[in-house]
Structure 1
Amino acid sequence: MITVPATFRQMPRWWHDESGRAWLDRLPALVARRCEHWGLDIDGAPLHGSNALVVPVRRGTQEAALRFSPPGDDLARECAALPHWDGRGVVELLDSDEAAGVMLLERLNPSRSLTAQTPQRSAAVLGTLTRTLAVPAPETAPSTHEIAAGEARSATARWEALGEPVPRTLLEAGIAAAGRRAADDPGHGSVDGDLHDQQVLAGTRHRWTVVDPVLLRGDREYDVGRALWSRLDELPTDEDIRGALGAYVETAQVPLERARDWVLVRSMSYLLWGLEHGLTLDPPKCRRLLELFG
C-alpha cells in the first residue's frame, strides 16, 4: 500500500474538513483496490497538489498516472474537458470513474513545469498553448462573455462589503474592462480557464502539456492575469511585467487591448476573492497589476 504524504495531509483544504481527512485515511486502500480493478502496478511514490493525489502506475508496459480527487470535487467537468481536446495540448484521459473520483491519465514529468522557465518564456509558451486549445467549443461551455458580465455586476457590492480596500479608481478600471469584455462577441473557441505555469508539465507527446483544464468558450486571454500575478515576484519593474504580457500577446496572436482588459478583470476579481478568503500575499499583486494597466 502507498503512504499518503505528510505534506498532502497538511494542505489548508483539510484543516476544517473532517470528511476530507477521513478520505485521506482511506486513500491507501482506495489506491490498492483501484490498481487491482484496472490491472495497474504502482511505479513510484505518490505526488500531490493542493487537492488531488497522483500515483505513478504501469499497465503492462504503458506508463500512466492514477489521480484521486476527494469527495465533492467536480470530476465530471474535467472528465468532459479532457475528451473534448482529445490530447490536443492537454493530458490524455485513459480511463475514469467519476463516481469514485478517479482518473487514469497519461504520465507527464511532474518535476518539470513551466515554473522553471523565465516568466517571459513561460508567458510565451502559455500564449502558444491558447492557440493550440482554441478548437470550436461546445455551446454548453460557460462563456467568458458571461463571466465578464457577472464580474461587472458584482464587483461594487463586494468592494463595499470589504470596506473599500482599494481606491475606487482601480475598481472602476476593472469594471470598465469587464464591461468591454461582456459587450464584445467572444467567439466560439475553446479556452482553458485555469491556464498558468504550474498547470503545464513536460511530456513526451508534446514538449509542454496542460493538466487539469477548465473548459470555457470565448476569449483565450481569459487567464493571462494569472500568468502575470503568479510570477510577479520575478518581475520587479513595470517594463518586466509589460514584457511578459507582450510575450504572451505575440505568441497567442491576440490584441494587446483585449489582453490588458482581461488582466484588469481577473486581477480585480481575484483581489476581491482573496480578501474575502483572508489571503494576504496575492491581493497586493493584483493591486499592482490594476495600478499598472488601469
Structure 2
Amino acid sequence: MRGVIELPQSFLEMPRWWTEGADWLAGLPAAVEQQCSRWGLTIAGPVAHGSNAVVVPVERGGEQFALRMSPPGDEVSDQVRALRWWDGRGTVRLYDADAARGAMLLELLGDPLDERPIREAVEVLGGLMRRLGVDGPADALSTQEIVRTRARVMEGQMTGQPGAIDRAYLTAALDVADQLAGSEATAAVNGDLHSAQVLRGEREEWLVVDPLLYRGDVEFDLGRVLWTRLDEMADDAEIRACFDIVVRAAGLDHSYARDWVVFRTVDYWLWGLSVGLTTDPVRCRRLLDALSYR
C-alpha cells in the first residue's frame, strides 16, 4: 500500500459531518488501510467521494476494483442487499462486503452520467428503469406502501407550514395517491435513481451505484430523475421534452408516469420545506408547473 489515504477537503466539508460522524471521519484513513489489509488490496489511485462515502481505486492480483467506505449502518446493509439481488444487472458488481465496517469491494467504473448532456442522461436513466425492472423480491418495501404512508402525513406537513405551498399542489398529489397505492405492479425499483448515481462501465455502458431496492412501479423515481438536473433545462418545453424522453426510453404510460411525478414531487417539496431546504422547493414548483399538474 502507498501510505495512508488523504481525504479530499470537499468530502470533509460535506453537510452530513456538521452534526454527526466526526469519530468515523477521523478514523477513516486507518479504516481504509485495515480493510485493504483484510482483503489483500493495494491502493492504486486518489480518493473519490460522494456525500457520505469515499471510493478508493485498489488492485489485487492484477485486477482493479473500487473500495467503498461509508459509515456502518442499515443504509450499507440495504445497499449490499440490493447489489447482491440485482447481481450486476444494470448495477455495479459487488465482489465482497463487510457491512459492519461499512466496506464494499466493487467493480471499478468510470465517469458519472451527470457529466453528459441532459437529454442523453435522461434517456439512459429511462433505459435503466426498464433494465432494473425485473420481478422484485416479495419482502422488499413496496412503492404502494410508501404512497400510503406518505399520503397520511402530507396533510400534516402542509398544516405545519401554512402558506409555504399552495394547497392545489397537495390536492393534485392526493388525487392520484389512491391509484398509485392500488397498483398491482411487482417490478424491482431503484428508489434512488439520478445521474450522479450512474457511472460508465465496460460490460454494460452505464451502471447504477448505491441502489435502494423497492418493489412496485418502476415510475417511482421519475421525479428525481428530472428535479436533480432541472436547472439545466432551459424552459418548460425542455422539461416536458426530457419527461417524454424518459417515458419512451422506459416504455411507460405517459399519464401514469406523470401521476408519479406529481405525487413524488409534492412529497419531496413538503419534506424539503420541513428540513429547511430553499432551492429544491423552487425546482419542485417549476417541475410541477411545467407538467401542468392541475
Which TM-score band (shorter chain)? over 0.9
Output the CA distance in 2 between the equivalents of 1:105 and 1:72: 18
The 5-angstrom pairing of residues 96-175 of structure 1 reads: 96-109=97-110, 112-175=111-174
CA RMSD of aligned residues (A): 1.1
Number of the residue aligned with 1:92:
93
Q: Distance in 1 between matches of 2:115 and 2:49?
A: 18
* Alpha-carbon distance, 1:234 to partner: 1.4
The residue type equivalent to 2:266 in the other structure is M
Q: CA deviation digits over 1:105-136, x for unaligned, max 9? A: 00001xx2221222222111111111111111
Per the alignment, residue 45 of structure 1 pairs with 46
Which moved further from structure 2: 235-244 or 71-80? Answer: 71-80
Tell me the equivalent position of 1:179.
178
Matched residue, 1:225:
223
Q: CA deviation at 1:11?
A: 0.5
Identical-residue share of aligned pairs (%):
46
Q: Distance in 1 between matches of 2:235 and 2:37?
A: 54
Q: Distance in 2 between matches of 1:209 and 1:184?
A: 28
> Residue 202 of structure 2: SS of its match in structure 1?
coil
Instruction: Give 1:12's aligned residue.
Output: 15
1:242 is aligned to: 240
1:254 aligns with 2:252: yes
TM-score (norm 1): 0.95
Show the 5 A alignment for 1:4-83: 4-17=7-20, 20-83=21-84
- Return 5+ residue gaps in structure 1 as ranges: none
Provide the rounded CA distance (Å) in 1 between the counterparts of 2:197 and 2:116: 13
Q: Is the 8 A contact 1:66 1:103 kept in 2?
A: yes
When normalised by structure 2's length, the TM-score is: 0.95
| Gaps in structure 2 of 5+ consecutive residues | none
Of residues 210-219 and 71-80 in structure 1, the stretch that sits farther from structure 2 once superposed is 71-80
Contact map agreement 2:73 2:99 (CA 8 A) in 1? no
Q: 1:73 Cα shift?
A: 4.9
Secondary structure, in 3 states, of the residue corresponding to 1:223? helix
**Structure-2 separation of matches of 1:91 and 1:119:** 22
SS class of match (2:27): helix
Q: Amino acid of the residue matched to residue 121 of structure 2?
A: S
Match of 2:203 in 1: 205
Q: Separation in 1 of the partners of 2:212 and 2:72?
A: 18
Check the 8 A contact 1:135/1:190 in 2, yes or no.
yes
- The alpha-carbon deviation at position 244 of structure 1 amounts to 0.3
Shift of 1:163: 1.7
**Structure 1, 117-126 or 221-230: larger mean CA deviation:** 117-126
Look up the SS of the partner of 1:105 in the other structure. Answer: strand
